Structure 1
């Protein structure tokens, strides 16, 4: 299972993408629990805000787009974990 997080927008408007293969992680059961507990179907559309980031999170069959103001709780945890794995490479 692959998780892809893309961040775009912000002041410079740059896009950054991080990804992780959950099956390759030593704590894959913790990843699976986190992914299963995310409110994938409860995300409401938010109007874009100037100079703020927009996050697109994909983990088949799910995909959500979150405004920076919507990134908290388990969404923030997921983004942080994916980034941490990528920074450790």
Structure 2
């Protein structure tokens, strides 16, 4: 009986969450990227809470004066729930605006991303 209740609570929750962060700009013009995929419930919930804390609709991605040669981060989140359409979120965040939840999200994705050989 409890199993049915647990299943009902999870209806519509994401089964897979993919986050990609790409950095562009700077002097070298390199464009490294990092990505992470979560598919286990506690991990998905943790990532989703961080994603939800970011100010998605209020961020215009504009670069302020003196930031032309600084890094710009492109953040893409794909939330793939089992019974609903896929939700995608994109943001472009200049380095000067990378604070609070944006900085935490970028740092956490970088830390969790598998290391690539150089």
**TM bracket (short chain):** 0.7 to 0.9
Is there any run of 5+ residues in structure 2 with no aligned partner, and where?
1-16, 79-87
RMSD between aligned residues: 2.1
Deviation (angstroms), 1:88: 5.8
CA distance in 2, matches of 1:86, 1:25: 18
The answer to whether the 8 A contact 2:61-2:91 is kept is no
Residue by residue over 1:31-56, the C-alpha shift from the partner in whole angstroms, topping out at 9 and shown as x without a partner, is 11111221110102313623200100
Listed as ranges, the gaps of 5+ residues in structure 1 are: none
TM (normalized to structure 1)? 0.86
Q: Distance in 2 between matches of 1:76 and 1:45?
A: 14
CA distance in 2, matches of 1:25, 1:16: 28
Decide which structure has the larger Cα Rg and report it: 2
